[in-house]
Amino acid sequence: DSGVTQTPKHLITATGQRVTLRCSPRSGDLSVYWYQQSLDQGLQFLIQYYNGEERAKGNILERFSAQQFPDLHSELNLSSLELGDSALYFCASSVDLAGYYEQYFGPGTRLTVT
Amino acid sequence: AQRVTQPEKLLSVFKGAPVELKCNYSYSGSPELFWYVQYSRQRLQLLLRHISRESIKGFTADLNKGETSFHLKKPFAQEEDSAMYYCALSGWTQGGSEKLVFGKGTKLTVNP
């Protein structure tokens, strides 16, 4: 167990809908990362937050947004969902800003868009 | 642009055989390189990183800047090594923010 929790585990929704994925980092970790894992694209970095502020952006669509709250938990909002958004969404946390600190991954949220 | 290439989607070896999972990268500066592993139904976890020069579970990886490679090697594969392996690169963008880039992964199967 990495100490990173994600809810929900599974989510099934329809196209056009909006969902929110939640992540609680390990105790003491200030950095939160979001990734999307799909069969064809592999693991894609979406966005990073550090102590409440956005620090780095990857291949995140404009329909997606995220935030990190004062208690350091983070939410990833996905809107106007399309079939192609079906994927496993991972959250990871690390103690500090830089990527060479080990990232601890959560179990993921499996999103299915029908 | 930062890029990580893992040329093999699937790799199958027999138990006791040597294994090498290839990783090539593209980055203009001095990157930090990592290998992450995902066992079946488990979460991703760090296997090793080049700055620590560790050997974890018998795996080693050497950063070759000339060939821009960071191949993962193990002299004698075990069945429990069967998993998905991801090579990753951490580097800084021109805008001063950090970016982590993963390869598409190699699924290793070690047959008995």
Give per-residue pLDDT as tens, B5-61.
999 999 999 999 999 999 999 987 778 899 999 998 788 888 988 877 777 889 999
Q: Does B82 touch chain A (CB under 8 A)?
A: no
Residue at B36: amino acid letter: Y
Which of B46, B85, B93 would you mutate first to test chain A, the one with the most A CBs within 10 A? B46
Identify the helix (H) or strand (E) that includes residue B34: strand B32-38
Q: Both tokens of residue A8?
A: 């929900």
Residue A99: the pLDDT is 59
Nearest-angstrom CA–CA distance, A77 and A86: 14
The number of residues in chain B equals: 112
Identity (one letter) of the amino acid at B17? A
For residue B48, give Cα distances in angstroms to A43, B51, B72: 18, 9, 9
* Per-residue confidence in pLDDT tens, chain A, 114 aa: 779 999 999 999 999 999 999 999 999 999 999 999 987 777 888 999 999 999 888 889 999 999 999 999 999 999 999 999 999 999 999 887 665 677 899 999 999 999
CA distance A41 to A35: 11
**Interchain pair A55, B97: CB under 8 A:** yes
Put simply, the answer to whether B32 touches A97 (Cβ < 8 Å) is: no
- C-alpha–C-alpha distance, residues A89 and B15, integer Å: 33
Residue of A nearest to B32 (CA): A100
- Identify the pLDDT of residue B93: 60
User: Could you please report the per-residue DSSP string of B41-56?
Assistant: TS--EEEEETTTT--B
CB A28 within 8 A of CB A78: no
Residue in chain A nearest B35 by alpha carbon = A102
| Pairs of residues, one from chain A and one from chain B, whose beta carbons lie less than 8 Å apart | 60
- Rounded CA-CA distance B54/B49 in Å is 8
Q: What span, in angstroms and rounded, lies between the C-alpha atoms of B28 and A58?
A: 18
- CA–CA distance, A37 with A45 (Å, rounded to integer): 9
pLDDT recorded at residue B92: 66
Q: Which chain A residue's Cα is nearest to B9? A: A42
| C-alpha closest to that of A113 among A15, A9, A10 | A15
Q: Nearest CA of chain A to the CA of B77: how many Å? A: 24
Query: Quick one: tokens of B69?
Result: 């490679």
Binary contact (B32, A100; C-beta < 8 A): yes
Residue A5 has a pLDDT of 96
- Option in B43, B98, B102 nearest A42 (CB): B102
Distance from CA of A10 to the nearest CA of B (A): 14
Task: Find the closest chain B residue to A56 by CA distance.
Answer: B97
Give A110's strand partners. A10, A88
How far apart CA B90 and CA A108 sit, in angstroms, is: 22
pLDDT for A101: 72
Token pair of B57, please?
Answer: 């579970």
Q: Is the CB of B45 inside 8 Å of chain A's CB atoms?
A: yes
Pick from B32, B51, B105: CB nearest A42? B105
Q: How far apart are CA A86 and CA A37, in angstroms?
A: 9
Question: Quick one: pLDDT at residue A18?
Answer: 97
Residues of B in contact with A43 (CB under 8 A): 44, 86, 102, 104-105
